[in-house]
Amino acid sequence: MNIEKIIEVLKVAREEDAKAEAFLRTIPLSVNQVFFETPYIEAREKMFSSALRALTSGHEFLYYDVIWFLYELGPNNKTFWLADKTPVVINTDEDYYNYLRSEYGTSN
């Protein structure tokens, strides 16, 4: 496992999510919801999840760390806790990438 490769994938995912979110904000909510209730979107989500599992193979906590970063991190949710109950505050994407490097190393 190479953390830098995972970070590279996360950067692309964040960029593409931002583009998608910007686009979805330009269309009515009722139309927006239709985009997320299709077999196509479900298949893409499963493919991404499978690729992410392969990238983090053998590191279940890393997989869930990344899922938190991609889907839970937000203005009202910037803190998560390590197993020893130490809080980690993430204010920027770069904070998260630095956390990954320190927690999981540059390659394992």
pLDDT at residue number 107? 53
Q: What is the dihedral of CA 15, 38, 25, 77, to 10 degrees?
A: -60
Beta strands in the chain (DSSP E): 79-81, 87-89
Q: What is the mean pLDDT of the chain?
A: 86
Contact 104, 59 (CB under 8 A): yes
Q: What is the pLDDT of residues 61-70, one digit of tens each?
A: 899 889 988 8
Look-up: residue for tokens 């197993």? 83
pTM for the whole structure: 0.77
Give the DSSP letter string of 19-31.
Answer: HHHHHHTTS-HHH
DSSP SS3 for 77: strand
Q: What is the pLDDT of residues 50-64, one digit of tens each?
A: 999 998 988 888 998
Please state the rounded mean pLDDT for residues 36-47: 84
